[in-house]
Amino acid sequence: MENAAIEEMFETLGPVTIKRMFGGKGVYFEGVIFALEVDGEILLKGDDRTGPTFEEAGSRRWAYDGKGKPVKMPYWSIPEEAYDDPDEMARWVRLAYEAALRAKK
């Protein structure tokens, strides 16, 4: 995904910084990573508070193959309805940033 498209997706939060990492990209706001781009898909940071909310919205939790068994990461796919509704996208972006702030503590 092009950086300009990522920046536009998160414009309700404010200006983001995008850095290449592990074959993908990390998306940061005010120095805190809250989203990833992996294989062209944007994944949002989740935690114990927001994970159930992502799951209820039909999001998938990102996992990678770690020596034969999946390793679940605290990142979730964006719910489909958010792509067509800027207010809904803003809600999910805020939830991801809040989870990232909690993880930082």
**pLDDT surpassing 90 at residue 105:** no
Domains and CATH numbers, the chain: 3-104 (3.30.1460.30)
Q: How far apart are CA 94 and CA 84, in angstroms?
A: 17
Q: How far apart are CA 103 and CA 50, in angstroms?
A: 12
pLDDT number for residue 18: 97
pLDDT number for residue 89: 95
Radius of gyration of the chain (CA): 13
pLDDT band at 22 (very low <50, low <70, confident <90, very high): confident
Average pLDDT over residues 51-80: 94
pLDDT number for residue 68: 87
Q: How far apart are CA 31 and CA 33, in angstroms?
A: 7
Average pLDDT over residues 90-98: 96
**Structure token digits, residue 16:** 């983001």
